Amino acid sequence: MEQELFVYEQPMVDTVANVNRRLGYQESPLSFDDVYLMYDMCGYDRARRPGRPAAWCAPFEENDMMVNGASKPNEPFGVSK
């Protein structure tokens, strides 16, 4: 239930909008679920290959990572910049 409410909080709405803007998806924007999956893939990629650039992380800025991280407090890996 908390996860569902978090989708509509302004920081998460801003993150989804920023990722869409950075990727150029203004006409057909990605959904919250799409962006959340990208965040997951970013974390897995960084955990699997530490110290190497992760393509899945490219659309996120540090603030986006903190917002997404706040939405997943029990995640087994951290995504740090």
The pLDDT of residue 81 is above 60 = no
Please indicate whether residue 30 or residue 4 has the higher confidence score (pLDDT).
Answer: 30
Our measurement of the distance from residue 27's CA atom to the centroid of its chain's CA atoms, rounded to an integer in Å, reads 20
Write down the pTM of the prediction. 0.71
Residues contacting residue 60 through CB under 8 Å, at least 6 positions apart: 15, 19, 38, 39, 42, 68
* pLDDT attached to residue 77: 39
The pLDDT of residue 78 is above 60 = no
* pLDDT attached to residue 35: 92
Per-residue pLDDT tens digits for 27-51: 999 999 999 899 999 989 989 998 8
